Amino acid sequence: MKLIITDSNVFFDIIKIQALPEFFSLNFEICTTDFVRGEILESDQKEQIEIFIRLQKLTVFELSEAEIEEVEKFETNRFFKTLIDKTVLWKAKQLNCPLLTGDGKLRSEAIDQGVTVHGSLWVIRTLVDQKIISAEIGVEYLEKLKVVNDRLPLEEIEKLIKKIKA
């Protein structure tokens, strides 16, 4: 099964539209880092993520001190205030796998570093493509995304809605 590593933004979007079980039904081994796991503070969201860790649907890479030092030394063109984003980018490069993020700076850096990047819209499209959800549910999730995350590109959401309905 193909690996994919995700940051917290995608988790937050997927939790807010109530699509976490479907997300973990994707035909990918979904991974993240312990830094991202630690960023999920709200108790309800944290518990939802912990359930999928216990079900072994989410792999959390616990970084050793040596790996944290590597992440700190990992060169990027952009400055990251915390190590959280750098950990998922570093791990995606290390594993040669795609990165899921909704963060513009992280997305740009990943592309510059040759990492394949997807976001929450890709997740919804893939859920429909893999027939995990119906087209109608996909459109419903996209409509919810417009409400819960106003930073997502509205034009792209509308294009995807039209494509799914077609």
Q: Is residue 100 part of a domain?
A: yes
Nearest-angstrom CA–CA distance, 115 and 148: 27
Residue 113 belongs to domain with CATH number: 3.40.50.1010
User: What local confidence, expressed as pLDDT, does residue 53 receive?
Assistant: 96
Q: What is the pLDDT of residue 46?
A: 92
DSSP 57: S
User: What's residue 42's pLDDT?
Assistant: 84
Query: 62 is in which domain, residue-wise?
Result: 3-120
* Integer angstrom CA distances of residue 112 from 77, 93, 155: 8, 12, 24
Which of 138, 123, 107 shows the shortest CA–CA distance to 28?
A: 123
- Residue 11 in any domain: the answer is yes
Q: Which residues does 118 contact at the CB level (< 8 Å), separation at least 6?
A: 4, 98, 99, 100
What is the pLDDT, as a whole number, of residue 85?
95
What is the chain's pLDDT, residue by residue, as a tens digit (166 residues)? 699 999 999 999 999 999 999 999 999 999 999 999 999 988 899 999 999 999 999 999 999 999 999 999 999 999 998 899 999 999 999 999 999 999 999 999 999 999 999 999 999 999 999 999 999 999 999 999 999 998 899 999 999 999 999 8
Q: What is the token pair recorded at 136?
A: 């109608």
Is the residue at 64 inside a domain?
Answer: yes
CB 124 within 8 A of CB 145: yes
Say if 155 falls within a structural domain: no
What span, in angstroms and rounded, lies between the C-alpha atoms of 120 and 102? 7
Residue 31 lies in a domain: yes
| Distance separating alpha carbons of residues 70 and 148, to the nearest angstrom | 35
- Domain tally for the chain? 1
